[in-house]
Chains A and B, each alone.
Chain A
Amino acid sequence: MTSVDELMDYAEVVERFDPVLGLEVHVELHTATKMFCGCANRFGGEPNTHVCPTCLGLPGALPVVNGKAVESAIRIGLALNCSIAEWCRFARKNYFYPDMPKNFQTSQYDEPIAFDGWLDVTLDDGEVVRVEIERAHMEEDTGKSLHVGGATGRIHGADHSLLDYNRAGVPLIEIVTKPIPGTGARAPEVARAYVTALRDLLKALDVSDVRMDQGSLRCDANVSLMAKGAEVFGTRTETKNVNSLRSVERAVRFEMTRQAAVLASGGSVVQETRHFDESTGGTSSGRTKETAEDYRYFPEPDLVPIAPSRDWVEELRGTLPELPWERRRRVQQEWSLTDAELRDLVNAGAVDLVAATVAAGATPAEARSWWVAYLTKEANARGVELGELGISPEQIARVVALVNAGELTNKLAREVVTGVLAGEGEPEAVVEARGLKVVSDDSALERAVDEALAAQPDVAAKIRDGKVAAAGAIVGAVMKATKGQADAKKVRDLVIARCS
């Protein structure tokens, strides 16, 4: 695959062309049961164990709408500032694919449950971009195909395929933006920031696991270019298989560059689905959409229309939690953060963790210094999310408490945290096992001080003469003798007291 830089320099891309973005995000709801049947909605599991006649599409089986999923859809719509339909229907989207049990997907077509909303997205430098939401609609997920043999892991070239229908019928909400023009060179960043903001929002709503790596949050990125200053959008491509926030940004940037190279060489962009390749950072052609697929949508006759009463919608509005941007505004005020401090906190993805650490007893400054300054580096080094690092806000709060009680120095505290991260157990257990406790036993310290004074009688004499600065040599000797586990200030006080 051609590397992105060989195609065209990015600066030239954005100088000659204006990108238009369109983002389609699929969210798997984490309801207890599937969209249209009573099967458990759980990730993974032995293949084909969370299935029943309905989600397997057995002849005669019928769907029944999961009310909790409708509730989640409405809450998502409200949080995205959408209008909620007073009356809407499901529709059948007809096409053949082996992992789709009925060969139609029960979805929504021209009557989505939520429509016409917006989401404000904050970029890394604090600039806010308003992304218009076209619609959010309900549908069911398909099963999963595992293509065995062949080089690509895709259906073409595979020897055979295995089908797992555990995921078939899992409730999905598809959130579609309106076209997003005018973002210029920052289009890739806007795409990532939008998906990030949506993820945080869905997490706050507690409607989904929003795990991109597990597919509970999936993004299709539509990208087109038009000549600088043009008004008619260019031909777009839709890039699928974008499985991380970073990939969203890379995929958009690659497509912009690739399309620019095609256009600049006098070619034209083919409207098609493309696949993002995580390892190369490039996209490759999937199905060509030249024969536009005709899904033959029609209202799903096996389901009755959904007519959420206005009272119910308002009741659900009342259940909306503090949304991420409201929360950010509040913590900035409560924790007295500068704009830059808030941005670091948000970019680190640490707002929830810091808040939980504060709730467990630490001060905001202490909690931030751990999560933003120290643990973020650890997470980056390990290539994991902060929340997956393996240490909890409660544990951090306990370490902070130990420091404040004088039982740990900052240096020792970091060692304790390292132990927790290494899986050595609770902070207290690490302290115990590694023998990290500050030596605070006065008699032991006094003994060490007396020994040091005895070993350096000339220094001791100077101190007794009032040359307090000379105490440093004794303190150093004591610290050395206690392997750094003594509180240096305390040692110093003790030395002066013994010499006066």
Chain B
Amino acid sequence: MSDLIRSTAAELAAKIAAREVSAVEVAQAHLDRIAEVDGSVHAFLHVDAEGALAAARRVDDDVAAGREVGPLAGVPLALKDVFATEGIPTTCGSKMLEGWVPPYDATVTRRLREAGVVILGKTNMDEFAMGSSTENSAYGPTRNPWDLDRIPGGSGGGSSASLAAFEAPLAIGTDTGGSIRQPGAVTGTVGVKPTYGGVSRYGLVAFSSSLDQGGPCARTVLDAALLHEVIGGYDPMDSTSINAPVPPVVAAVREGVTGDLSGVRVGVVTQFSGDGYQPGVLRSFEAAVAQLKQLGAEVVEVSCPSFDYALPAYYLIAPSEASSNLARFDAMRYGARHGDDGTRSAEEVMAITRDRGFGAEVKRRIMIGTYALSSGYYDAYYGSAQKVRTLITRDFEQAFGRVDVLVSPTTPTTAFKIGERADDPMAMYKADLCTIPANLAGTPAMSVPSGLSDEDGLPVGLQIMAPALQEHRMYRVAAAYEAARGTVLASVPELAGAR
């Protein structure tokens, strides 16, 4: 396996800037790796080799000309297929958008391009980001590089799997209920959900507008921080974007790697344990907490009672917003069109297209959301869910009055088998039990690898949560923890087809 694909983004950027290696060589090495292993992993829906090499060439030209380049210039990246990319197909894992080539770039896409980041292609995802396993992709599931019979998490399974398969050193995901963190946890990679409003949603195809948040995925905490600073920050095109500087996350990582967490107060959320939690996951979590204590952190237990209602509240709010957001897919302007044989009315064509274009999980959520917003039910469902949301936000505020960060397992279990929960939506939804509260409160949270579960040898994630715009706190703790326990990806199996 080439050293280039094993390198971190920070290492690659340094080598490219120092002209020790060209961005084109780096891009080509990753494109070769994709060609080699993606047949078995299926992390990508679309690979843009030509565009990637052209972007790499531009970085090489800049470096050769002595022009200043950004901290991630020339580093390849896998972009979740939910971000609009001008000239590159964007499907959101749905047949509804098969063949749609956006005429514009998402703000995240634009910032990546401007920073000289090399976009390799678009990654697989649950259709319209609805799911926790990437099995809901209309283009077939992504497989977990740790065990190809298992799911890589979802909805951003493609992004996290591409990191664990060494197809890309960086990826972008979106996290509505855990879609960055849960895939990060089950693939042994780092995934960060920033503060709501911290990363522009302009050009991010909406699932649930009040919860969706784009964020960085990487193999190391430092790489995630570097990417966070590239994509984060105010965007006037997104009204919900926060007009404040990006929290100093790279500096926080540099502080964290010194390994000293003395003075840092860490709260263990008592609600996230017990029934439904895999023992090996809980043991890994306890070991992680012990490690944090060893690094000098002060650990206390914190109760957040409203978190028990987070899952049901989420499954009213997210589908409600989705039912409205997905209404635009009607065959009139772009995307799929079915049943237009010249005899049918516009309404019939809309109905036939939506019936054929959407998968089962998307339809389920559209129907739940449509019902929850109906007159006569609004107060009982959507209204109540919003109240729970307020209570959860209060629980966070009270907790952060006592501690600097909160920790929990990222997911109750390690990666499950493909097909295992496909017919049991409730079991599938529970994969997001620990990650959803941060989405409802709009606060930042991340998952960092906490070793392998002792019973199945699969990766486990430690979730670290911080108050709004205090990302640097969680990055610091994550960096210290990562430095102390070392990487898990060294033990990811060689993939079939790998040299």
**Residues of chain A whose beta carbon lies under 8 Å from any beta carbon of chain B:** 53, 56-65, 92, 94, 96, 98, 101-104, 155, 161, 163, 294, 296-298, 301-304
Smallest CB gap from A57: residue in B: B328
Residues from chain B with a CB closer than 8 A to the CB of A294 are 374-375
Give B103 Cβ to nearest chain A Cβ, in Å: 7
Q: How far is the CA of A301 from the CA of B369 in the complex (A)?
A: 15
Q: How far, in angstroms, from A409 to B231 measured CA to CA in the complex? A: 77
Contact between chains at B240 and A96 (CB < 8 Å): no
CB distance from B168 to the nearest CB of A (A): 22
* Cα–Cα distance between A163 and B346 once the two chains are bound (Å): 12
Q: Which 8 A-B pairs have the closest CB atoms?
A: A103-B327, A296-B373, A301-B209, A301-B210, A60-B203, A59-B205, A60-B84, A60-B205
CA distance A140 to B347 in the complex (A): 22
Given contacts A58-B334, A296-B370, A298-B382, contact A304 B239 (CB under 8 A): yes
- Partner of B327 from the list A53, A64, A104 (CB cut-off 8 Å) is A104
A96 adjacent to B350 (CB under 8 Å): yes
Mind listing 26 A-B residue pairs with CB under 8 Å? A53-B104, A58-B84, A59-B90, A59-B206, A59-B334, A60-B83, A60-B84, A61-B104, A62-B238, A64-B237, A64-B239, A94-B327, A96-B327, A96-B350, A98-B332, A98-B350, A102-B327, A103-B330, A104-B327, A163-B332, A296-B373, A298-B320, A298-B324, A301-B210, A302-B206, A304-B240
Chain B residues near A (Cβ < 8 Å): 83-84, 90, 92, 97, 100, 102-104, 106, 201-206, 208-210, 236-240, 320-321, 323-324, 327-330, 332-334, 345-347, 350, 370, 373-375, 378, 382
Point out the residue from B106, B324, B329, B345 that lies within 8 Å of A296, measured CB to CB. Answer: B324
Which of A59, A103, A155, A296: most chain B Cβ within 10 A?
A59
Of the listed residues A57, A62, A63, the one surrounded by the most CB atoms of chain B closer than 10 A to its CB is A62
- Contact (Cβ within 8 A) A103 B239: no
Q: Besides the contacts A59-B84, A101-B328, A301-B240, what 15 more A-B pairs have beta carbons closer than 8 Å?
A: A53-B104, A59-B102, A60-B83, A60-B106, A60-B206, A61-B203, A62-B237, A62-B238, A62-B239, A64-B236, A64-B239, A102-B327, A155-B346, A296-B324, A298-B321
State A102–B334 Cα separation when bound (angstroms).
Answer: 12
Which of A59, A98, A302 has a CB less than 8 Å from the CB of B240? A302
Task: Provide the residues of chain B in CB contact with A94, threshold 8 Å.
Answer: 323-324, 327, 373
A58: chain B residues at CB < 8 Å are 84, 102-104, 333-334
Complex CA distance for A98 and B330, rounded to whole angstroms? 8
Chain B residues whose C-beta falls within 8 Å of the C-beta of A96 in the assembled complex? 327, 330, 347, 350
Closest A residue to B203 using CB positions: A60
B321: A residues at CB distance < 8 A: 298, 301
Q: Which residues of chain B are within 8 angstroms of A103 by Cβ–Cβ distance?
A: 327-328, 330
Q: Taking CB as reference atom, which chain A residue is nearest B317?
A: A301
Contacts of B330 in A (CB 8 A): 96, 98, 103
Report whether A59 and B328 are in contact in the complex, using a CB–CB cutoff of 8 Å. yes
Q: Are A62 and B202 in contact (CB under 8 A)?
A: yes
CA distance A98 to B331 in the complex (A): 9
Residue of A nearest to B332 (CB): A98
Q: How far is the CA of A196 from the CA of B210 in the complex (A)?
A: 42
Q: Does A303 lie within 8 Å of B239, measured CB to CB?
A: yes
Within the complex, which residue of B203, B204, B239 is in contact with A65, where a contact is CB–CB below 8 Å? B239
In Å, the complex CA distance between A102 and B332 comes to 10
A304 — which chain B residues lie within 8 A by C-beta?
239-240
Within 8 Å CB of A57, what residues of B?
A: 328, 333
Shortest beta-carbon distance from B127 to chain A in Å: 13
Are A60 and B320 neighbours in the complex by a CB distance under 8 Å?
no
Query: Are the C-beta atoms of B374 and A296 separated by less than 8 Å?
Result: yes
A104 touches B324 (CB 8 A): yes
Q: Which residues of B contact A59 (CB under 8 A)?
A: 84, 90, 92, 97, 100, 102, 205-206, 328-329, 334
B486 to chain A minimum Cβ distance, whole angstroms, is: 39
State in angstroms the CA–CA spacing of A64 and B236 once bound together: 8
Q: Which residues of A contact B84 (CB under 8 A)?
A: 53, 58-60
Kindly provide the distance from the CB of A290 to the nearest chain B CB, expressed in whole angstroms.
Answer: 16
A237–B244 Cα gap in the complex (Å)? 51
A57 to B327, CA, bound (A): 10
Q: Could you tell me the distance between the alpha carbons of A363 and B328 in the complex, rounded to whole angstroms?
A: 60
